[in-house]
Amino acid sequence: MTQPDVVISMKNLVKRFGDQTVLDGVNLEVKRGETVVIMGGSGCGKSTTLRHMVGSLIPDEGSVEVLGKDLATLTEDELNEVRKKFGILFQSGALFNSMTVAENVGLILEEHTDLDASIIDMMVKIKLELVDLREAAEKYPAQISGGMKKRAGLARALALDPEILFYDEPSAGLDPVTSAAIDQLIIDLTTRLGVASVVVTHEMDSAFTIADRMVMLHHGHVLMNAPRAEFEELRDWPAERMSELDEMQLLIRQFLRGDPEGPMTEHGEGGENAYAIDLLGIDNSKLTGGRSVQSTRAAGGSGFWRGLLRGSREKGGT
């Protein structure tokens, strides 16, 4: 692909909140027409990465370019023009309860275009048709299912014909059949519209279905950035050959499989002992002869969208 095909470019990105370095030298590109899934354990830096992509945070070091624009150098008005070129599907759909589905989708067009009402109505119908939701146009959010809310939110994200789509846990809280339908919709839209898609998800079945490329973050570093097939190979690596993998590969394999034991939880145990020492002045390992309570699985959840709604660009953390 040529350089114009790169729609998001992060170079040597560093972000600190006080004394804590949340992102440490992140390099990442997203290209037109591909779906990139960003994943990792809780606190690994996924949310902070995405907040830089949409311009609600600016880096302490390094740069973030979206559609050829260095976001840190833009005025608020210039940044808003860039934001019109991407859409966001929030985890809950984030629909206005007092408005119908059609009104929710049309609101974006009313706010950001000078189109006549008749043209807006036609465009709303087109967007709802894209997500197979025209029959629910006059219904309110309380009258539709969780999966329909996701599709309505996606129709709204598509309202301004974006070049980039961001998805926050698109299949979270959905039954397996509805989740599979949302996954297929993401694939279809990426193919038909040629948009770049950036997806944060903890649902591994979904990730391996929709991803062209996958990015694994851990403690603010990119551990692995590779095509889906390479992650599949690591996920399916036979147990009898585990000795051939290094610690980084073992950690990624544990996350992909959701295994309760491995480097990720072993590191977590050390963190718990450090917490006990800091809080109580007691070395847990000396009391128990080794390990404290073992967490079995990295916790899910993403605070990115809540952070985005709390404010626009921030120079530092809160």
pLDDT mean for each 10 residues of the chain (318 residues): 76 94 95 94 87 92 95 93 90 83 91 89 91 90 90 90 91 84 90 91 91 95 96 95 94 93 70 49 48 40 50 50
Backbone angles phi, psi at 97, to 5 degrees: -65, -25
Output the CA torsion 22→27→33→39 (10° steps): -40
Q: Are residues 106 and 38 in the same domain?
A: yes
Query: How long is the chain?
Result: 318
Task: Looking at the structure, tell me whether residues 72 and 105 fall in a common domain.
Answer: yes
Give the per-residue pLDDT at 47: 83
Q: 207: domain CATH number? A: 3.40.50.300
- Amino acid 225: pLDDT: 97
For residue 198, which amino acid is it? Answer: V
Same domain, 239 and 221: no
Residue 147 lies in a domain: yes
- Provide the residue type at 177 as one letter: V
Q: Check whether residue 89 and residue 126 sit in a common domain.
A: yes
Instruction: State which H helix or E strand residue 207 sits in.
Output: helix 204-210
Structural domain of residue 44, as residue ranges?
3-226+303-310
Determine if the pTM surpasses 0.75.
yes
Residue 49 inside a domain? The answer is yes
Same domain, 250 and 135: no
Tell me the Cα Rg of the chain: 21
- pLDDT score recorded for residue 103: 93
Per-residue pLDDT at 79: 93
